[in-house]
Amino acid sequence: MSKKKKNDKTNEVAVDKASCQALDCASSANVQLVWDRYEQQSPHCKFGTEGLCCRICNMGPCRIIEGRQELGACGADAATIVARNFVRLIAGGSSAHSDHGRGVVKAFLETARGENEGYQIKDVDKLMEVARFFEIETEGRDKYEIAEEVGERALANFGRQEGYSDFIKKAPQKRQELWEREGVTPRGIDREVVETMHRSTMGVDQDYKNILRQGTRAALADGWSGSMIATELQDIMFGTPGEPGETGRKSAMKFEANLGVIKEDKVNIMVHGHEPLISEMIAIAAQDDQLIEYAKEKGASGINVAGICCTANELLQRHGIPVAGSFLQQELAVVTGAVEMMLVDVQCVMQSLGDVLDDYHTRVVTTTDKARMEMAEHIEFDESKPLESARKIVRNAIDNFVNRGEVNIIEDSKEALAGFSFEYIKYMLGGSFRSSFWPLNSNIIDGRIRGVAGVVGCNNVAMPMDSLHIPLVEELIANDVLVVQTGCSAIASAKAGLLTPETAVEKAGSGLAEVCEAVGIPPVLHAGSCVDNTRILHALAEMVNVGQQNQRLNIGDDVSELPVAGAAPEWMSEKAIAIGQYFVTSGVYTVFGGTFPTIGSQKVTDYLFKEYEKVYGATWDNAQDAHEMAGKMIDRIDAKREALGIEKGAERVLFDMEMRREMVD
Ligand code: SF4
Ligand code: MSK
């Protein structure tokens, strides 16, 4: 492996103590990590950063220099090149989420047909709800029969050549009409991704607005179809977060977050990536008495499964399984020397894990043919026998316990709450009798809650880990903005101790704190993994629906009229661009931190950052620090409040019996 020069700038790369401690360990052992390689890569290519490098044909690579080289060899200008690169990011991100969704549908269908053991149809209420949405007959039918038809309908959304994706009908009517007017309503997911790649290849679409229009179709196919299918069917198979589990009561899920969840006396298995299909079974296998006994025979006191990235988010929201860290902490987990196995599925897995592992006993195991690593063991996960495959993998990890060398256990983790699915938020707000978003709209109108912000996305080595996520979230809640989070951003808040009800008292503004205390929720809600951003789309649509059911609670007839905003402060993945594009074109003003991949073309950037307001009622934006970002988001929320005439906070809407009767589940 490549050795490195000692990295002694730990405080500049992470804000949490646990990561700094692990970085010190790596530094002493002279192990190269992502921060060292980033430094070696610096300074970064300006053309690439600004989206001005084109390498889609062999007459290139071509790059654009204003005033000197204004055109590529084929005549493509800066706007065309930047727009093509941008939509290719969207296509990449959309394909990742949606291929994940396709894998879920496949497992779902096998479960419905009784072709695998291990998976279940757990949330029958949600199955019935999705079946009703698809207008599938449910009366007197077996749940597996209904599930099979739901799976087939979901699968048809991927290759559909005619007509639109089914789930777009969940968007507010006004938004659907806007998409139709703009010609961006998404058709089949695969079609939109393929067409984006086609249109952005050499010599095809050369009108930047038209190129971006196709990017919008692909992004909307991701958010309102591929990702949404993943979330909905995962919930049916594994349980909707917050829904009654073994306790029989609806409740949020308590979990621990940060590297301190890695235990010295246990066999530690890290599940990393994005898909819960494998890790759900690993979580079950790790509770197998025979395997626990086997671990004890090897000298451990038990088996500890912890997660990294979004596989962690999937598991913690349904089982309370601890999270060892976010994207940038994957190597740090190995540096503890106490990880027997790093089990990876797809997305956000660093190839460097192989190098780091040279110094440690950790086995890295790939589980899907879609994502193999040259240096890793590959144990193909047999989806027809998922539990059997999981037991084999856990046994393999236990066998590695005896190979441990020196360990660097980090005693730092925080308690947090997760599981705030759309359904659970609705239940918490409205109660078990009539779960509803009405109280949210009401509290927004009376000004206790100023607005709602989605803060999502990755960590990026270009900035100290969590240095934007945490102050941004803190500033938003201090200003009475309710924050909903997913992905590594949610993990950042968990590590900072923000995902607790106590945060309301300690850090939220008085209005938000009052609501959170009354309802019993934290002011920062963990809504799940990256594909679960669709839970936020559902919530936005419901905020509109509530106002249409009762004008006194109206806070906008379309998403773009709601007092809401979004952010991905430390984004790095092309998936974040796909998510940003579907949020903006669904009507949510969205701010990204760090560099933005269109800044090489003023025309394209102005279009996305300014003119989109006229097209979609929302724009992209960019900010370099948390305070600036929070300020922009709050300004946006305030502008929307003013447009609604509720800038001062109207009188609180009190529910009388008649209103309660009108409430629809
Ligand atoms: Fe250069 Fe045009 Fe080929 Fe791009 S498509 S590499 S700008 S010649
Ligand atoms: S894992 S996509 S680093 S959020 Fe979803 Fe985190 Fe970004 Fe991967």
CATH of the domain at 133: 1.20.1270.30
What is the phi/psi pair of residue 178, to 5°?
A: -65, -45
Q: Which residues does a 6 A CB cutoff place in the pocket of ligand 1?
A: 54-57, 59-62, 72-74, 76, 81, 202
pLDDT of residue 655: 56
In this prediction, residues 629-658 reach a mean pLDDT of: 82
Dump the DSSP string for 392-442: HHHHHHHHTGGG----------EEEEE---HHHHHHHHHTTTS--SHHHHH
CATH of the domain at 620: 3.40.50.2030
Q: Helix, strand or coil for residue 565?
A: strand
Of 51-60, 349-358, 370-379, 432-441, give the lowest mean pLDDT range.
432-441
Please answer whether residues 263 and 299 qualify as being in contact, where contact means their C-beta atoms are separated by less than 8 angstroms.
no
Q: Note whether 340 and 485 are same-domain residues.
A: no
Q: Which amino acid is at 358?
A: D
Name the strand (E) or helix (H) holding 28: helix 17-28
Q: Note whether 172 and 312 are same-domain residues.
A: no
Judge whether residue 179 has pLDDT over 70: yes
Direct distance between the N- and C-terminal alpha carbons of the chain, in angstroms, rounded to an integer: 58
Judge whether residue 665 has pLDDT over 50: no
In this prediction, residues 182-203 reach a mean pLDDT of: 97
172 cis-preceded (ω within 30 degrees of 0): no
**How many other C-beta atoms can be found within 10 angstroms of the C-beta atom of residue 328?**
27
Q: Note whether 604 and 462 are same-domain residues.
A: yes
Tell me the sheet residues that pair with 484.
Answer: 454, 525
DSSP 123: -
Residues ≥6 apart with Cβ < 8 Å to 429: 435, 436, 437, 438, 439, 440, 519
Q: Note whether 642 and 495 are same-domain residues.
A: yes
43 cis-preceded (ω within 30 degrees of 0): yes
The answer to whether the Cα torsion of 152, 158, 160, 164 is positive or negative is positive
pLDDT class for 424, splitting at 50, 70, 90? Answer: very high
Q: Note whether 460 and 324 are same-domain residues.
A: no
CA of 207 to the centre of ligand 1 (A): 15
Judge whether residue 426 has pLDDT over 70: yes
Residue 71 lies in a domain: no
The ligand that comes nearest to the alpha carbon of residue 61 is 1
Nearest CA to ligand 1 atom 2: 74
What is the phi/psi pair of residue 523, to 5°?
A: -80, -5
DSSP H stretches of helix in 453-532: 469-478, 487-495, 502-507, 510-519
Q: Note whether 393 and 438 are same-domain residues.
A: no
Residue 208 lies in a domain: yes
- 573: Cβ below 6 Å to ligand 2? yes
CA of 349 to the centre of ligand 2 (A): 10
pLDDT of residue 661: 56
Residue 413 lies in a domain: no
Q: Note whether 282 and 353 are same-domain residues.
A: yes
Strand 323-325 relative to strand 302-308, pairing: parallel
Distance CA 542, CA 624 (A): 32
The ligand that comes nearest to the alpha carbon of residue 80 is 1
Q: Note whether 480 and 366 are same-domain residues.
A: no
Domain's final residue, options 351, 369, 403? 403
Distance CA 393, CA 342 (A): 11
Q: In total, how many domains does the chain have?
A: 4
Which tens digit of pLDDT belongs to each residue from 563-597? 999 999 999 999 999 999 999 999 999 999 999 99
In this prediction, residues 256-272 reach a mean pLDDT of: 97
For residue 102, the enclosing domain spans 78-238
Please answer whether residues 466 and 496 qualify as being in contact, where contact means their C-beta atoms are separated by less than 8 angstroms.
yes
Q: Whose CA is closest to 436, among 427, 449, 424, 447?
A: 427
The answer to whether the Cα torsion of 25, 29, 34, 39 is positive or negative is positive
Q: Which amino acid is at 459?
A: N
CA 360 to chain CA centroid, Å, is 30
Q: Whose CA is closest to 563, among 454, 451, 441, 447?
A: 451
Tell me the sheet residues that pair with 366.
Answer: 344, 378
Q: Helix, strand or coil for residue 524?
A: strand
Q: What percent of the chain has pLDDT over 90?
A: 86
Strand 414-418 relative to strand 253-257, pairing: antiparallel
For a mutational test of ligand 2's pocket, the pick from 327, 344, 346, 489, i.e. the residue with the most ligand atoms closer than 8 A to its C-beta, is: 327
Judge whether residue 163 has pLDDT over 90: yes
Dihedral, 21, 26, 29, 32 alpha carbons, nearest 10: -160
Q: Note whether 507 and 617 are same-domain residues.
A: yes
Pairwise pLDDT comparison (161 vs 332), residue with the higher score: 332
Closest atom, ligand 2, to C-alpha of 486: 4
Residue 204 lies in a domain: yes
Residue 253 lies in a domain: no
Residue 63 lies in a domain: no
In this prediction, residues 348-362 reach a mean pLDDT of: 89
Q: Note whether 470 and 577 are same-domain residues.
A: yes
Residue carrying the six token digits 């909707």: 240
Q: Note whether 384 and 276 are same-domain residues.
A: yes
pLDDT class for 6, splitting at 50, 70, 90? Answer: very low
Q: Note whether 393 and 480 are same-domain residues.
A: no
Name the strand (E) or helix (H) holding 485: strand 481-485
